[in-house]
Amino acid sequence: MSALINETNFDLSSQSKVDLKVVTDEGNKLEEDIEETCSTINSSYSICSGVWDATVNDYGDGNYTLRVRTVDEALNERNQTYQGSEVTVDNAKPDITGFDVDQRYATYDDSVEFSYNIIERSFSQERTVTNITNFRNNPDITGVNAQCNLASEQPEKRGVSNRTCEGIWNPSSLPDGNYTVNATSTDLAGNTRRNESNVNEWVFLDNEPPNITQVSINNTVIQAGRPIAVNVTVPGDDSKTLERVNVDGIVNLSYSGGSLWKGVTNSDQEDSFINVTAVDKAGNTDINESVNFEVDDEPPKLYQINISDRSIDPRDQEVTFTQNIFDENFVESKVNFTVTGDTDSGSFIRDIDETCDPQNSGNHTCKGTWNGTNKQNDPVVTDRYKLTVRAEDAAGQRSGKNSSAFKADKEDPRIFDQNTNVSYTNGSEIVGFNVTIDEFTFNESLVNISIEDQRGTYFSETDETCRNIEGTRYNCTSAVNFSERQAPKNYSFRTSVTDNAGNKNNAVEPSEWVVNDQTAPEIANLSLNDSYVSSGQKMNLTLDITDEDPIVPLVSKKAEGNTLQKIRDKNYTAEIEADASDEVVNVSVADKAGNSRSTSIGYIVDNEPPEIFSFNSNATDNVWWCVVYK
């Protein structure tokens, strides 16, 4: 350290003095004498020099300067600290921190901007070197320029500066791999430090694009607007190296481990395909184009269900259902046949296995057979049931419910109230028959009303008509007219009913007997006890009624309004009063079958006594009278 003294009255051999001291630049706290040596340059100038050994007392880091005290011959004194003569004591290595890169992944075409900070008391730009190091091989690959400028924020410690060093690295000539930025800085005091960025600031140089090897979707037939599950396989890349995998540039897929990415996008009715793009973190891109799918917005169309038998006996019969379905994307496994009770909320009975055969142009015929049992394999009760068919196609479009009702019936028909409108007939009138039938699966065509004789021998069938009267009850009637045909003497009607399920009932007992009598009673031996009577005179009428059927009672036996009284067997009598205006007795008889016979017998009413005109005698001994009268 030296000081140039400008003083003409300066003579160290006399009273002049020079005192050199080292002090800090922070308040002159430290004072240390330096042994000086002075020499005269000329009459006006002298120079004094001394050596300060900063290592002797282990001075702390900081800035130090020289204070000069001079006294001339006239004893004038000056103390002066000389700015610009500072000496910096620096025992600390540069502090290199804050490595940062503007991108973690780069390609040959990128320029990577980097920065770091150096906190240093005696910084030297010329002695600060920035290098790029390969992470795997570890040697410095290349040097890059970094310009260091004072940062906006400075340390509070006096004399220490914070500098931000910034530079640009162009990796065009380097192979793919991990690289890091490191810096070596030697300060003016000779202290050196090398530091490098940690793993968070490594730069991965990647010039290879991703390789999409497989794209799959959950279904190739989709409803418009419905989600599509997409799986993408990108070997060699994972969530650390890939920036994104997206569908149609809109939906980003999520990493699912290994090389698999998954996500959901929506189908577009206009496009019917998706494009998958994989972009790695360096910006390299691979595009898998046109994974096609079909958009189907039409649900399956179900036609009318065909049922082989609308009524079955669930104990021993089966019913086959046939459903024709149209859908271009038909899926047999998604066709469902279900038997339930025949109500809107019918109880579940059981599902039915069905098989489907393709026909043409999207048409399919599906068949299933039900054996009349529930899910416990027990025959169901007599009731109404329905088959419900549902279908879903490959796009998930669901048809509406298609249902058709049928009956299960394990009860025999019940027959009661058999009766006829008459018990006797002569064939001139219609005999009506009436029967009530209680049956769940009634079929009029399976009702048979026949005529049989008293020995049970079949004679004839009748035409019947039936009507529903309430619930499961039906009234069936038939009518027979035997006017043009012969019939048994005694006959009855018998009802036989078979229901739609095949259950049958023949009436154990026939109807009441009907007597068929087409012969009228005969009147014979008709006579009056007197043929000449006066008016009002009583006469006795007698007659015989023959051919009277013993099982067909007479219902009318009249003679001039008087009922004939039976004398014995077939002999009848009646007392008749003579009527001068008529002189005829009309007789009629009729039986319960409606056969009748009529006849009459005449008589003379004489209400005038005889008129005598003359009388005489023709002898005296024997007297003979001759009377003339009218």
Q: What value does the mean pLDDT take over residues 355-364?
A: 94
Q: Does 265 map to a domain?
A: no
Beta carbons of 203 and 106 less than 8 angstroms apart:
yes
Strand, helix or coil for residue 38 = strand
Same domain, 73 and 107: no
Which of 61, 89, 117 corresponds to the end of one domain? 89
Show which of 383, 408, 433 is a domain's final residue.
408
Provide the Cα torsion 387, 392, 393, 396; round to 10°: 170
CB 375 within 8 A of CB 362: no
The answer to whether residue 630 scores a pLDDT higher than 60 is no
Q: pLDDT band at residue 410, thresholds of 50, 70 and 90?
A: very high
Three-state SS at 139: coil
Q: Is there a single domain that holds both residue 311 and residue 337? A: yes
The pLDDT value recorded for residue 337 is: 96
Of 275-289, 348-362, 602-616, minimum mean pLDDT range: 602-616
Spatial neighbors of 344 by CB under 8 A, at least 6 apart, are none
The answer to whether position 622 is within a domain reads no
Same domain, 51 and 81: yes
Q: Give every CB contact of residue 162 below 8 A, 6+ residues apart in sequence.
A: 117, 118, 119, 150, 151, 153, 154, 155
Question: Could you tell me if residue 376 is inside a domain?
Answer: yes
Q: CATH number of the domain that 156 lies in?
A: 2.60.40.10
> How far, in Å, CA of 287 to CA of 302, rounded?
42
Give pLDDT, residue 359: 93
Per the domain annotation, does 254 fall within a domain? no
| pLDDT at 285 exceeding the cut of 60 | yes
Chosen domain end from 157, 172, 205? 205
* Residue 330, pLDDT score: 94
> Hey, what are 310's tokens?
């609308």
- 621 part of a folded domain: no
> Is there a single domain that holds both residue 555 and residue 489?
no
State mean pLDDT over 472-483. 88
- Distance, CA of 212 to CA of 233 (rounded, Å): 6
Q: CB within 8 A of 555, min separation 6: which ones?
A: 590, 591, 592
**Both 108 and 199 in a single domain?**
yes
> Do 83 and 19 share a domain, yes or no?
yes
CB 291, CB 274: distance < 8 Å: yes
Report how far residue 184's alpha carbon sits from residue 132's, in angstroms, rounded to the nearest whole number.
11
Task: Please say if the pLDDT value at position 52 is more than 80.
Answer: no
Residues 392 and 437 in one domain: no
Is residue 540 within 8 A of residue 575, CB to CB? The reply is yes
Residues 177 and 117 in one domain: yes
188 and 108 in a common domain:
yes
CA 414 to chain centre: 45
State residue 138's pLDDT score: 65
Average pLDDT of the segment spanning 40-67: 77
> pLDDT for 573-598, tens place per residue?
999 888 888 889 999 999 888 889 99
Residue 82 lies in a domain: yes
Q: Does 480 share its domain with 539?
A: no
- Please give the backbone phi and psi of residue 226, each rounded to the nearest 5 degrees, phi first: -85, 155
Residue 195 has pLDDT above 60, yes or no: yes
507 and 460 fall within a common domain: yes
Cα end-to-end distance, the chain, whole Å: 218
Which residue is it, tokens 């890169």? 101
- Over residues 350-365, the mean pLDDT reads 94
Give the strand pairing for 383-391 and 363-370: unpaired
pLDDT tens-digit map of 361-376: 899 999 999 999 999 9
Domain count, the chain: 5
Query: In CATH, what number is assigned to the domain containing residue 25?
Result: 2.60.40
Domain that holds residue 356: 301-408
353 and 307 inside one domain: yes
Considering the chain, what is the average pLDDT of its residues? Answer: 85
Residue 544: band (very low, low, confident or very high) from pLDDT cuts 50, 70, 90 = very high
Q: Are 572 and 597 in contact (CB under 8 A)?
A: no
The strand pair at 260-266 and 273-280 is best described as unpaired
Residue 567 within any structural domain of the chain: yes
- E strands, 375-413, where? 383-391, 402-408
Q: Is residue 237 part of a domain?
A: no
Distance (Å, whole) CA 181 – CA 158: 30
Residue 8's DSSP bridge partners are none
Q: Where is average pLDDT lowest: 17-21, 115-119, 384-388?
A: 17-21
Taking only the tens place, the pLDDT of each residue in 314-336 is 999 999 999 999 999 999 999 99
